[in-house]
Amino acid sequence: MIEILLANKKSFQAQSVSELTVSELDFHVMQFLDYGKSELSWLEENYGLDFTIMKHFEDIEISSHFLENEFQAAFHFSIPYYSKEKRMIEEPLFIIITQTGLFLFSSSNLDAYFNELYPAKIKSLQRIKDLKGIFNFQFEFISDYFADITESLSRKVKVLANKILVEKDFSSNVMDIITSYNFNNLLIKESLLETRRVLRLYMKSDWEQEVDLKESVRAELNDMLVISDYIQFNFDRLDDLKENVSNKIDLEQNHIFKMLTVVTVCISLPTLIAGVYGMNFESMPELTVDFGYPVVILAMICSAILPFIYFKRKKWL
């Protein structure tokens, strides 16, 4: 699907490029969702776009994240977001800036998540008057998105911390939750570092000399630096929670071991006495005593009670 924001602030959708007439398109933004080879070929033929960055975006080289020539500047951002199953995943977002307009490439799932999170996004774009403002909006949008998703995760971590540290209540899967939050935080941090690196390269690019968004991009980089501090704080808090839960589990295990020790001692002594008198030797003087049986029973009861009293005074119970 193709979503287009025209220069006259109107927007419309098309299912395929066959519905579009290049000569009649005066646009600011053209977004392609779940695009295929036919759409890329159409863009390459009609707008001369270079899609090298989209073919090698998984490479570690910086050229797979930012690539420019005299006609365009191409960006690749890894965007973490929550899927329908409430699991954090990441997908690529490609932005190609030209003098004609701005081209966006993403999946429909990522776009649906953006639309749900920012329902007024289109209206905000429609208020922008020129292409320079559109370019600037995309940088601000990505920075704001990282701030929002980091804030969302921070709230979840804070709720979990309150439950564990203040209410002292946690379920058996709390370690899995902490591990999940750590993984989400790591995804956000990795994507944010990559985004900051891309924006720094853009500031040094020839394309930036023409567009002149340096001050705005520098402000977004400063905001991202603050976001990085929150991400690190999340890591520290999660580490503290993990250590706290581990300590509580160790304490509970120690308590269980103490209980087992007490029970073992209280049972072993009566068992020892019963074992001795179960040997059935002929020369056992107690067998002929009239009160031998109740005396032995009493001795067994006392041997069970006395260790219990001892451990009680030692505060093992």
**Which residue has tokens 């989400």?**
184
**Which position has the higher pLDDT, 190 or 127?**
190
Angle (CA) 197-201-206 rounded to 5° is: 165
- Check residues 119 and 142 and name the one with the higher pLDDT: 142
Judge whether residue 291 has pLDDT over 80: no
- Whole-angstrom distance, CA of residue 139 vs CA of residue 134: 9
DSSP annotation of 315: T
Give the tens place of pLDDT for each residue, 199-224. Answer: 888 888 887 777 777 888 888 888 88
Rg (alpha carbons) of the chain, rounded to whole number: 34
Which range is least confidently modeled, 36-40, 74-78, 260-264? Answer: 260-264
Q: What is the β-pairing status of strands 2-6 and 11-14?
A: antiparallel
What mean pLDDT is reported for the chain? Answer: 81
Is the model's pLDDT at 46 over the cut of 60?
Answer: yes
How much of the chain exceeds pLDDT 90, in percent?
2
User: Residue range 165-180: average pLDDT?
Assistant: 75
What's the rounded Cα separation, in Å, for the pair 236 and 191?
19
In the predicted model, is pLDDT for residue 63 greater than 60? no
pTM over 0.85, yes/no: no
- The CA-atom distances, in angstroms, between 179 and each of 85, 126, 150, 243, 287 are 17, 41, 16, 12, 65
Please give the Cα distance from 147 to 152 (Å, whole number): 9
Q: How large is the greatest C-alpha to C-alpha distance in the chain, in angstroms?
A: 119
pLDDT of 51 above 60 = yes
For residues 254 and 239, is the Cβ–Cβ distance under 8 A? no
- With a cut of 60, say whether residue 189 has pLDDT above it: yes
Query: How confident is the model over 230-288, as pLDDT tens digits?
Result: 888 888 888 888 877 777 777 677 777 778 877 887 888 888 878 877 777 777 776 67
Which pLDDT does position 298 carry in this prediction? 84
Cα–Cα separations (whole angstroms), residue 156 to 105, 178, 186, 269:
30, 10, 15, 52
Residue 297 pLDDT level (bands cut at 50, 70, 90): confident
* Tens of pLDDT, residues 96-134: 888 888 888 988 888 888 888 887 777 777 777 777 788
Domains of the chain: 1-117 (3.30.460.20), 251-313 (1.20.58.340)
- Cite the DSSP H helix spans in 81-213: 108-117, 121-126, 131-161, 174-203, 206-211
Take residue 314 and report the two structure tokens written for it: 């030692």
